[in-house]
Chains A and B, each alone.
Chain A
Amino acid sequence: MPHDHHDHLSPSGHPFRADNDHPLSYWQTMEIAVRELLIEKGVTTAAEIARQIDAMDNRTPANGAAVVARAWTDLDFRAALQHDASVATSEMGFDIGPMKLIAVENTADLHNIVVCTLCSCYPRNLLGLPPDWYKSRAYRSRTVREPRRVLAEFGVTLPETTQIRVHDSTADMRYIVIPARPDGTDGWSTDDLAHLVTRDSMVGTGLPKSPDDLA
């Protein structure tokens, strides 16, 4: 019973988090040593590192949602996105760096879903840090083998007539799914449409919200 051992539980009923006062691992020591050397030799500064961490933490799925909503409303942008998604999204201010981006569009006949079986490649500049499940062995191994069962566990059941296409992000490309625009959104502004775009809908494990979900 979760509430029987009060000594180990916080007032909220959850276990206290263990203190992280164990000795540093080999790689933690290496990271600190390299960072201190880079600062000591004037290659970078502690403030610059803190700013970069801040910048990485500030990337959120709202970036991707802005791209998707624009693709729904701006046909020229949509064509540019299909032609070269790296260039099209950089022009919106979302630089993907040395990686390249491919945007894949969902239709009534095709549903795209993204996985990285080898590691955890993810379009971080558009979606922020990947969720833990994206990096799990279960998601990485099952998505290429039984994508429909994986989707069902995310609450998405698609008809047999919709082809599932799994994108295994094995090398230099990153992928963003452009979900189909929800019905009942004619005349909506790009900003309003962006509120319907969820993180999972851009990974392919979900669908965008419908106007009813916002009500």
Chain B
Amino acid sequence: MPRMGSRVRVRNDMPPGHIRTPAYLRGKCGVIERTLGPFANPEQLAYRHSGAPLALHRVRFTMAEVWGAAAETPTDTIEAEIYAHWLEPADAA
């Protein structure tokens, strides 16, 4: 369970279905800003399953991390809500 301040990577997967993890953040590393929830998993709710409770992490990314050399201002930041099962420790291969 990552904690506030932990460095995490968004899983770089492209599964089919109703996914609330924006594609532009997949594979990107950020820092947990705060943890919310638990909320029912929207990927299951979308198909009328009950939706397992999941922690929802607000993750802060730098523009440099997300857009690389194309970043408008590298030190500006983006924060997004990412469900726990989409995150892995940033040191994972």
Contacts and interface: CB of A to CB of B under 8 A. Distances in A.
A170 interface: yes
A172 interface: yes
Interface residues of B, number: 24
A109 to B, nearest CB: 11
B12 to A, nearest CB: 17
Nearest to A172: B39
A122 to B, nearest CB: 15
Nearest to A173: B81
A79 to B, nearest CB: 16
Contacts of A118: 20, 22
A170 B73 contact: no
B50 interface: no
Contacts of B80: 167-168, 170
Interface string B73-93: 101111111110000000000
Interface stretch (A143-151, A183-191, A194-202): A143-151
Contacts of B72: 145-149
A171 B78 contact: no
Interface in A10-45: none
Interface stretch (A47-55, A129-137, A158-166, A204-212): A158-166
A51 B54 CA distance: 35
Given A100-B36, A165-B79, A166-B78, A171 B20 contact: yes
Interface of B: 20-22, 24-25, 36-37, 39, 42, 56, 58, 66-67, 72-73, 75-83
